[in-house]
Amino acid sequence: MSRLYGLLMFPLYLQVFGYHEIPNSNSTQPATIAVLVYPDIVLQNVSSRFLSVTIDTRTLKKNWEHLNISSPKVQALARGLSPVYLRIGGTLEDFLYFHDDSSALENVNDILKPFNITGHKIDSLFKFSNSVHWDVVFGLNMLNRRHGRWDADNAVRLLQYIAKKGYPVAALELGNEPDVYQLILPHRPDPTILGSDFSYLRSIMDQIPHFKGTKLVGPDVTNLCVTQSSYKNFFKKYLDAAHTSLDAVTLHQYYLDGKYAKLSQFYDVAVMDYLEKELASANDILRNHAPGKKLWLGETSAAWDSGAANVSNSYVAGFLWLDKLGLAAKYGVEIVMRQDFYGGNYGLIQYKNLDPNPDYWLSLLFKTLVGGPVFETVALDPTNHIRVYTHCTNLRRTKYGPGAMTVYFLNVFSKKTVAVDFPKYSNQIVHLYLLEPADEMGLKSRNVKLNGIPLHLLNNNQLPSFKPKPQRLPVLIPPLTFGFIVLPNANARPCYI
């Protein structure tokens, strides 16, 4: 059953179930929106690492700066999200050089200048990732080139050091956003040559036994939806040369320019739909130029350029983040790597005080409640302001039994409370997990409450338990809120596995 089918059935459901259309702005009567879930249509099965995170190479360059990776608070917050892939990459990965001598001088020159990292810093990275049970994805410097070809000598030294230490590496990348290299180089390199560098890296990995089980992912391109066809053509040629060496194809995605992003854009349906077009375009390219390969969002957030100050680190950022997770699952994306666990204005944890931002709690709830199988879901709302996605419930992290489903939802109406109903399950008790701003800052709040109770770390840096609000359908969803509804007794067959 498709979304189109659900919309075609809209008038029939209005008649059969007595639902009325969305009222005008002067009405005080909540609209009742039917949500159709088709548990017999499994779109894909996401892994427990579907929601993953990044730490920008810049943080590694600055010796972790204010991120105290040995802090019990940081480690508690990190473990809460486990398991994840931790991607170490970004613009500065293409300026990183490794020196295994721990006493080597660490260059602290300006951005976009080469800098050194030592074995000591690599040790600290893996000590942290191992302690919180995260799996490292490490980006290698592709701009270390000689006569137009990748010079792998320094990368080999780094890989040999990692192998000698026995540090596990889940995946390697090579280069960051090569389709915009012309912004930092005199010209954009030939994508066919860059793609062949992946074959060279794969041969190096095959020669080091420690890396024979390590994935190779790339090419970390961006700008697939810009009007210039040159970006898509670059991606296609790159994949033609590299796809046989790749385990997954990586794309970077942002909606907005952090310098100019407006608050209202973070809950704008048109902005959300931009991602749907981009994923459809990427999947079309993969079918023709990298058949059989899975797509990863290897770096993604709401706004680029470190995010939008006091916006992309506040409650309102959750709309684009939760919708992105839903669309990514729907369109077959295997991994979504959130930029950034720490850093900029889009970090999951706050700069300096290291407290969780609202998107951390949203991510933790997602990890807790959302399981593998993804179902076709249609909200009978012609405005598309009620957005819903459905998975099996995560049985490993909750006490729910087999057959339970989790729906996550967004109400992006600015003033309308909506009653959400599930016609097939109308006689059941459901569990609501509603997230709202926790203070007078509203959409720009840095604090969030769950079912009316503010979320915060408990004593001794313990994460709180998430308590649902049991209730009968329909569920009232206030304007500009989002959250989760668990159907404990859905008896969805794919959720028994």
User: Which sequence positions are flagged as catalytic?
Assistant: 177, 299
| Euclidean distance between CA atoms 274 and 46, whole angstroms | 22
Instruction: Specify the residue for token string 């720009």.
Output: 444
Phi-psi region of 384 (alpha: psi -120 to 50; beta: other; left: phi over 0): left
Q: Among candidates 167, 170, 114, which has minimal Cα distance to 141?
A: 114
Alpha-carbon distance of 430 to 447, in angstroms, equals 26
Using CA atoms, how far apart are residues 314 and 143, in angstroms rounded to an integer?
36
Report d(CA 131, CA 143) in Å as an integer. 32
The residue with tokens 């179902």 is 375
Whose structure tokens read 């854009």?
265
**Residue 180: which region, alpha, beta or left (left: phi > 0; alpha: psi -120 to 50)?**
alpha
Contact in structure between 412 and 22 (CB atoms under 8 Å):
no
